[in-house]
Amino acid sequence: MGYPHPVTDSERYRPIGDYALIGDCHSAALVSRQGSIDWCCLPRFDSGSAFGRLIDFKRGGHCSVAPGGRGRWEATRSYLDDTLVLETMFTGRSGQASVRDCFVIPDSERSDPRRQIVRVIEGRRGAVQFELRIAPRFDYGQVRPWIRRHGIQLFSAIGGNDALVIFCDRELEEAPAHELSTRVTVGAGERVRLSLTYVPPEALDRAPPEEPAPLAVDRALERTISWWREWSHSIRGGGSTEPGVIRSGLTLKALTHAPTGAIVAAATASLPEVIGGVRNFDYRYAWVRDSSFSSRAFAELGAVREADAFRAFIMRSAAGHADDLQVLYGVGGERRVSGGELGGLDGYRRSRPVRVGNAAAGQRQLDVYGELVNLTWRWHRRGHSPSDDDWRFLVSLIEHAAQRWREPDCGIWEWPGKPDHFVHSKALCWSALDRGIRLAEECMRRAPVRRWTQARDQLRRAIERRGYDSRRGVYRQAFDRRELDSALLLLPTVEFLDWGDERMLRTADAVQERLGAGDGLLYRYRRKDGLPGREGAFLCCSFWLVECLARGGDPARARSVFASTAGRANDLGLFSEQVDPRSGEPLGNYPQALTHLAHISAAVALAEVEAGPESRYAR
C-alpha cells in the first residue's frame, strides 16, 4: 500500500502513540494502527533493526498487513484481555476481519526463544481483501536482503549476520524491491497465517528451513495468549483497582530480557524529544536507576522473581564491585554501549541525527549507589537478608557514596552540560549511607558504621545548607542555584524526608507551580542544558507528583493529577516518555518503562491512601 507523492512527513510517519507493542521478553516490535510493523530489532532489543521504517520511511523496512482495494476502512484495536497479543479489527463496506499479532512465547519465556512473530488474519463477516508486504531491511535499513525461495509458501531473507524465515499459507510473490507480497481475500471463518522467524544465516546453510503447518501457527498463538494470561493473573495489581495498572505491568514485563533479568528503558532508539531536533537517543539498554525503579514496581505488583532478577543482573554486570559500576548496560550485561550516529537515515519526521548506542554509559551519576542499596533494602524489608556476596557488593557501593558525594555529577537527567552538584544525587548518596547503616545493624553485619554515620550526617548538613533555599522554604535543583527540578519529588521515596514534611510539601507545590505545563503536566527542569530545542513535559514526573500529593495528605488533588496524566496513555494503555503540552502529541522513546513504573507506583499510593493506613505494607 503506497503513498501518493508528494506527501508530508506527518503522513509518512505515524504518530508515536499510534503504535502497539508486542514482545517475547527478548525483543519487541511496534505495530501501527494500519497494521504495519515499523520497528523490530532482532534477536535482542539492542540489535540492529529488521524493520525500521520508524526512523526512515523509505529505507527502514516494514511488514504490513492491511485491507486493500477501494473504500474506507475503520481500524479498531485492543489487546486480548490480560495479554500482550494485539487484535486489530478492520471494518468496511464489504465486510469485517481481524488481525492478531504476537511475538511467540514458548512454555517459558526463559527457555530458548522462538524469535517468531505470528500474524493471523481471520474473516468475521463478508469478504475482505488484504495486501501483505514483507520488506525486511537489516542493520537499521543499511542491508537489503537476499530473498530465497524454499517452497511455494516458504522464503528466507538473508543479509549480513541476520536472516528471517518467512512463511505464509498463501503463495507469496517476489517483488523487484527486495520484498515479498501477496493479495488475499478472507471470508467469515477463514484464516491466513504469516510467520516471521529470526535465525542465524549460517543455520540455513546447514539445513533448509522447515515449513510450519498452519495449525502449528495457530497453536503458537494460543499458547502465547495462555502464557500472558497466566503471568498477568499471578500479579495482584499492588492492591490498586486502576484498570491501567495491569497493562503497565504487562508492558514492563515485555521490556525485560528474560535470560539476564535486564530491563530496557524503552523498546526504541532515536525517537525525538523535539520533532525535527537533535534530542534523539537510544533507550534499548538497562539503566541502573530506571531498572531499580522497575524492580520496585514489580515488587508492588507481586512479581517477586522479576523484582530480584535485576539485582542479580547488576551484581554480575558490575563484577561484584562498585569500581566497575556503569550507569547502564547492554541487555546481556555488555559494558561497551557507546553512542554513534547512523548517517544517511532520515530520522523520525526528519529528526536527525539517528543515534544508536548511548554515550551516557560513561557519565558519572552518583545516585546509582543509593538506588542499588535501596534495592537491597526493600528486598530485606520483604524478608530477604543479603548474602555474603551481596554484602561485599553493598559495602563497596556505600564506600563509594561516602567518598564521592562531594563530586559533581550528571545526575538523574544525564545532564549534557558541565557536571553539577545535583541535590537528588546527593540525597541518594545520603540514602546509600543511611540504608547501609540500618542494614548493618539489622542484619548484624560487620561494617564501619561510625565512619558511615559521620559521612551521612556531614552530607545531610551539606544538603540542608547548600541544597535548600531557606528563603523560599524549598529544595533546589543543585547546590547554590535557584532552579527547581522535578526529581526533588523523589526525596521521600528514600526517606530523606517524610511525605508530610512541610519542606517537602512546599517543594512539591513549588515544582508544580514553577515547572508546570498545565493540566498536571511537568517539565523536568527549565534550566538551559546546552541542547537546542525545548523538550516536552515528562509524564513520569506527573506520576511522581501524584505520589507526593497522595502520601502528603492531599489525595483529592492527587486523584485529579492522576486522572489527567493517566489519560495521556494511548488507546492501548501505552505511555511515551514525554508529551508536547500544546498539542498533546507523544514524544520520545516508546513505550517508556520509567513512565509505566511511575504510573504503577502512583496508582498503588492512591489505593493505599484511599483505603487507609491498614492497607500499607513494607516498601
pTM, to two decimals: 0.95
| Cα 535 to Cα 47, 270, 430, 538, distances in angstroms | 27, 14, 30, 9
Q: Quote the number of domains for the chain.
A: 2
pLDDT at 619: 38
Do 253 and 289 share a domain, yes or no? yes
Does some domain include residue 596?
A: yes
Mean pLDDT across 448-464: 98
Does some domain include residue 41?
A: yes
Domain that holds residue 531: 235-615
Task: List pLDDT tens digits, range 36-75.
Answer: 999 999 999 999 999 999 999 999 999 999 998 778 999 9
In the predicted structure, residue 2 carries a pLDDT above the cut 70: no
SS3 for 439?
helix
In the predicted structure, residue 376 carries a pLDDT above the cut 80: yes
pLDDT band at 239 (very low <50, low <70, confident <90, very high): low
Task: List pLDDT tens digits, range 549-607.
Answer: 999 999 999 999 999 999 999 999 999 999 999 999 999 999 999 999 999 999 999 99
pLDDT at 9: 63
| Cα 523 to Cα 98, 155, 479, 493, 536, distances in angstroms | 40, 49, 20, 20, 7
Task: List pLDDT tens digits, range 48-58.
Answer: 999 999 999 99
Q: Which residue has the higher pLDDT, 365 or 290?
A: 365
Do 114 and 259 share a domain, yes or no? no
Question: What's the sign of the alpha-carbon dihedral 355, 361, 364, 368?
Answer: positive
Lowest pLDDT segment from 2-11, 69-78, 165-174, 272-281: 2-11
d(CA 325, CA 317): 8
> CB-side exposure of 31: number of CA atoms within 13 Å?
28
Does some domain include residue 3?
A: no
169, 193, 227 - which closes a domain: 227
SS3 for 581?
coil
Beta bridge partners of residue 537, listed in sequence order: 579
Average pLDDT, the chain: 93
**CB-based burial label for 83 (10 Å; 0-12, 13-18, 19+):** buried
227, 261, 289 - which closes a domain: 227
Do 458 and 542 share a domain, yes or no? yes
d(CA 249, CA 54): 25
Does some domain include residue 485?
A: yes
Task: List pLDDT tens digits, range 304-355.
Answer: 888 888 878 888 888 778 888 999 999 999 999 987 999 999 999 999 999 9
In the predicted structure, residue 108 carries a pLDDT above the cut 70: no
Does some domain include residue 452?
A: yes
